Structure 1
């Protein structure tokens, strides 16, 4: 009689894991026994269990003992179990159809993998329920050594696709492993233009992975500083040895020519090092000055790394971002690839059509057809357009740098990359394109700035006049919108500044019309802030009307603490605080009475708000210092202060605020500094 668990697994593998009824029975005693033996490192007992029944299920995922041992990174024990197992038993799969080699590929245990395919070579080509081979698993989890170990065996095809049509290159990108993806693209260039069932190419897929780009990562103030501070080792630029297929247009001579051209291009002058900008005789001096700085930076980094464990994670993130940019550069280097991204869904990708990947019944065909229809419009767009839509400046900048021809392609609505970036409010991308269209011989065509939409008659200035997203509005959003409009207006040729669209409206008229709700919202927020802060200032001013600390000296009429340093600090701090409080009240009153016209949001209102907030903060700080001096004089003014008295006083005053400051700083707070700088711009 066969094993019921094996029979159940076979029934599961006839469909998908989602369609099948998962197992509900668990041999709890056996599960706890295996768990205990693994925790206590009782390898002999585990070997005995594996020898007795290697196919016995351990958990509700129907994993065998070999699956569990490999997942727990027990390499030597797993190799011992494999050696004593029969060859046919190595094909046993779990609930998702994963063999032991799938598990080894997922955890990156190349020693176990070699032991498995040395005993049974056809394991490399085995597929799970998602039709993933161990190669897919290794690529998805970013295990370089494991992936190339499996490839070098020659039994599994690197061109195999999953159920969703994803290739090895797709999997490496989805697994946030751009370093491995670059190696795969260099070794197998045909995968560069491969599409999955949703017609998504690897370069298009990258815009959906936010972890690949620094601009999409939200780091705190301290972590941002540490991220910039972390040094990364230089790449060795070594390629894998073997029969490598060279991508079209990527010969060494061509790369050298492109590097020279890039170095000489005036649009990338900002990327040159300081040393290259100085005369040759200054190079030695620069090296002498920079050399000790590098060592100090490395020393401080090592110290911070020992005190702050997250540094290792930040270094991994930074390396991933750098590798992602190199991958984009490689995938977009050949202009012929850009033509494919625009025409690929029409002329095919050199492989089977998307709908024919592993067809598994009528239901799956319907799902694939519906998904492909829903995504056709999005994935028909060139990668550069997608990057501009998603707001990923590194992605767009890298493509424009290595393949400026990509900017000449339009999206399915006839919009250029500049129009798309302006419409979505991606300002850093717009600044990059503006720099590349300047000069007498610009690298990007000037028609990007003067293009007029044929259907609507809109210029890029009309695109900039659209209202900002409501979820991104604050009290000074109107100032940002006006500054943004002025920036785009400076880019447009003079003859198009007052051009009218199909509705006979200029860009300024459109801006005024579309920003009326924002104008009212900003006015309401500013007046509400003014009322709140005015009430707080008035309350503090009246509450601070206390008597001067200490009695009067009968002989002179001055306070008895008149000559003490603390009293002098108290007097000056109180007067400064009173002055700042009065200034803040007047400015907030002025804001409440302002007419709030559109153009006033550009200069006068933000300036008033800046000084009102600054004087409010200085008033609070000054009164805090005055209150502290007053308390000190009341407690210790009658005697000569000793250190044993000062220490408790200082600790009581500073410990909790310092703790709050440090916690908030590590958690990402900038304490309003960026907001104040934004007010003043």
Structure 2
């Protein structure tokens, strides 16, 4: 037997549908077969569109084959009788309880008109179907008058005439049909599309006027779920139909959302937060504040969703200096909307962007404030059961300063609650979130109190500082040596506020904070040593070459020496003095650079060396290397000027312009590293006191439930 035909890394099982779906979809896209699966290439009529039908059948066979061979044996048996790729795909989605269909409803094809018992297409059902598809109310009404059962009769695919009218987006026809139907008939479901009602189909179409007559006649439709177990309002939002969502949300009862066991209300709120639609999120919260702590379909609350979105808040926005200036100058007022001058300013690209950003920040902070007010009275059991404690821990992990500040202001006890991974500051230290850590300075002398906090494994803050930071926190730090420097800065900062007892405290594994730091960072120390030595070796080759050349140039001056006096012939020229001075500077700076890089190669590479010693040597080495290259180019230019200035004076400017090219290239390539190292070693510390601490407003500070020492 040959090797099996492999399309996806893993065959579909009951556990891997999410990954399998992505793999196979990308494969079908690459083979130009996805339009068969998503319904954008509908099945043509076999008789009237023979060429198109043959093309569809060929692509359908390839897509269906790809789906079938990508399924495990148990899964394949469930789709073995399905003859279309789209049908197989939708069936697998239903089996794995995918909440939303990927494709909007399509109007039925003319080829699916129902047949009579004798194959006659002119039966009343066929005529009724055609009348509905064409939106002809008069013919539809006449047929329903003579055949009242047509209101609920099932057509070729099991749809009713109301389903068909909705799929075809016939607004007026839907209204007329709804007036004739009973309340029970409005609740008819399709045998496909997850058992959708007509209202469920309307949510995908997004036409509010189609949904209104159905809701007005039978409000129970708002609470009817399809087979995916979602309310229509949640489905509408998932489809991106905001107008339909807001309409359905405005008419559905608060009780239905609060008591919905399928979590549609909570899912809609968390989805609004994730998509940064804060206007709608505020509207949902105003009507149903209880949804804040209710889990969505993924068992995540709105609090937890907002906690991880640090980039949605002002402190998480990465703005350039000019953007910060514009941002700070914008003062949003309720009267701004009617101000013509202000409206003109919002059309300026830079101002418009910052205006939109500040408005978004105001909305999300408003939502956060309302949520914090809601949980301000929670006791410890309620903090845990509602997800509040977990949300604050997540906010600390992701560096969401505003979330931590607002929640602690509303409920100060959060500062002294230990989760499994420790308190707020344990998590901040373990994830190198300096913005959260800086809040501890608001306690002044009491900052040491948090150093006594321990988690369930008796890890103190020093143990948290001893753990290796997540890789994502190193993404903006160039080089393993600088990463190790940042880790040492964190450890020293935490150690500074830790009492002696905490420094010697061991966790359940018998390790102190320092021993844990050494164990966790041994690989990073090796990587930092290798990075430093490689950098020093590369630079040392260049600077040694410069020193050799400039030493030789000092004894072979341009123009030569006077045979009688031995002095240089051009000694009296200014250009010669420029040459000799720049040559000397280049030689001395390159020699200094060689010594600095040599000291890096022979260093002991202890953990503390990465804090100051090694970075200082590399800074001096790079600075003197740059100086030696610059002065070498000046010396070379001065030499050419001396030799050519008598006859070719015009060469002076081009020579110095060309000489500046390598200097500029070196500066552009190495300056970012040089600047980062200078700022990291000698620049402002990332640890600093808050200028306006929120902790000053907290009057009652209960003692922590678990800490070390008296």
1:561–1:637 CA contact under 8 A, matched in 2: no
Q: How does 1:403-552 map to 2 (within 5 A)?
A: 403-412=411-420, 415-432=422-439, 434-438=440-444, 447-453=449-455, 456-469=457-470, 472=474, 474-502=480-508, 506-542=512-548, 551=559
Q: How does 1:639-650 map to 2 (within 5 A)?
A: 639=648, 641=650
Give the aligned partner of residue 203 of structure 2.
102
- In the alignment, does 2:370 pair up with 1:330? yes
- In the alignment, does 2:286 pair up with 1:192? no
1:530–1:592 CA contact under 8 A, matched in 2: yes
Partner residue of 1:389 out of 387, 397, 402? 397
Instruction: Tell me, in whole angstroms, the C-alpha distance in 2 between the residues paired with 1:18 and 1:576.
Output: 77
For structure 2, which runs of at least 5 residues remain unmatched after alignment? 1-41, 45-81, 111-131, 141-154, 158-162, 179-185, 336-340, 684-710
Q: How does 1:200-211 map to 2 (within 5 A)?
A: 200-209=300-309, 211=311
Residue 512 to residue 546, structure 1, CA distance change in 2 (3 Å): same
Cα offsets for 1:374-412 (capped at 9, x unmatched): xxxxx6952112222344344323323443222222214
How far off is 1:480 after superposition?
A: 2.5
Give me the TM-score of the superposition, normalised by structure 1.
Answer: 0.59
Q: Whose Rg is larger?
A: 2
Partner residue of 1:136 out of 234, 237, 251? 234
Instruction: Tell me, in whole angstroms, the C-alpha distance in 2 between the residues paired with 1:131 and 1:549.
Output: 89
Question: Secondary structure of the equivalent of 1:425?
Answer: coil
How far off is 1:529 after superposition?
A: 1.6
Instruction: Tell me, in whole angstroms, the C-alpha distance in 1 between the residues paired with 2:200 and 2:642.
Output: 77
Residue 301 to residue 475, structure 1, CA distance change in 2 (3 Å): farther
Partner residue of 1:174 out of 257, 267, 274? 274
Instruction: Tell me, in whole angstroms, the C-alpha distance in 1 between the residues paired with 2:606 and 2:89.
Output: 68
Partner residue of 1:224 out of 315, 320, 336? 320
Cα offsets for 1:468-512 (capped at 9, x unmatched): 457847113333233222211222234433334456654334444
Instruction: Tell me, in whole angstroms, the C-alpha distance in 1 between the residues paired with 2:547 and 2:343.
Output: 50
How far off is 1:417 after superposition?
A: 2.0
- In the alignment, does 2:597 pair up with 1:592? no
Instruction: Tell me, in whole angstroms, the C-alpha distance in 2 between the residues paired with 1:64 and 1:569.
Output: 90
Question: Secondary structure of the equivalent of 1:332?
Answer: helix
Partner residue of 2:171 out of 63, 82, 89? 82
Question: Secondary structure of the equivalent of 1:437?
Answer: helix
Residue 139 to residue 438, structure 1, CA distance change in 2 (3 Å): farther
How far off is 1:120 after superposition?
A: 6.5
Give the aligned partner of residue 678 of structure 2.
676
How far off is 1:583 after superposition?
A: 1.5
Residue 553 to residue 113, structure 1, CA distance change in 2 (3 Å): farther
Instruction: Tell me, in whole angstroms, the C-alpha distance in 1 between the residues paired with 2:407 and 2:304.
Output: 12
2:460–2:502 CA contact under 8 A, matched in 1: yes
Cα offsets for 1:17-53 (capped at 9, x unmatched): 5769999xx99x99xxxxxxxxxxxxxxxxx996589
How far off is 1:535 after superposition?
A: 1.1
Instruction: Tell me, in whole angstroms, the C-alpha distance in 1 between the residues paired with 2:630 and 2:661.
Output: 14
How far off is 1:159 after superposition?
A: 4.7
Cα offsets for 1:598-625 (capped at 9, x unmatched): 3333332222122122222333344455
Residue 534 to residue 649, structure 1, CA distance change in 2 (3 Å): closer
Give me the TM-score of the superposition, normalised by structure 2.
Answer: 0.57
Q: How does 1:3-152 map to 2 (within 5 A)?
A: 16-17=93-94, 51=135, 82-83=171-172, 87-88=176-177, 101-103=202-204, 105=206, 112-114=207-209, 117=212, 121=216, 130-132=228-230, 135-136=233-234, 148-152=246-250
How far off is 1:626 after superposition?
A: 5.1
1:479–1:602 CA contact under 8 A, matched in 2: yes
1:142–1:180 CA contact under 8 A, matched in 2: no
Question: Aligned residues, how many?
Answer: 521
Residue 229 to residue 86, structure 1, CA distance change in 2 (3 Å): same
Cα offsets for 1:95-152 (capped at 9, x unmatched): 68696753465xxxxxx53575268646866766655556436656898876545444
How far off is 1:587 after superposition?
A: 0.3
Give the aligned partner of residue 591 of structure 2.
582
2:451–2:462 CA contact under 8 A, matched in 1: no
- In the alignment, does 2:708 pair up with 1:610? no
Question: Secondary structure of the equivalent of 1:419?
Answer: helix
Instruction: Tell me, in whole angstroms, the C-alpha distance in 2 between the residues paired with 1:67 and 1:673.
Output: 62
1:16–1:129 CA contact under 8 A, matched in 2: no
How far off is 1:582 after superposition?
A: 1.8
Residue 637 to residue 431, structure 1, CA distance change in 2 (3 Å): farther
Instruction: Tell me, in whole angstroms, the C-alpha distance in 2 between the residues paired with 1:571 and 1:161.
Output: 86
Residue 209 to residue 458, structure 1, CA distance change in 2 (3 Å): closer
2:452–2:502 CA contact under 8 A, matched in 1: yes
How far off is 1:429 after superposition?
A: 1.6
1:193–1:201 CA contact under 8 A, matched in 2: yes
Give the aligned partner of residue 60 of structure 1.
none
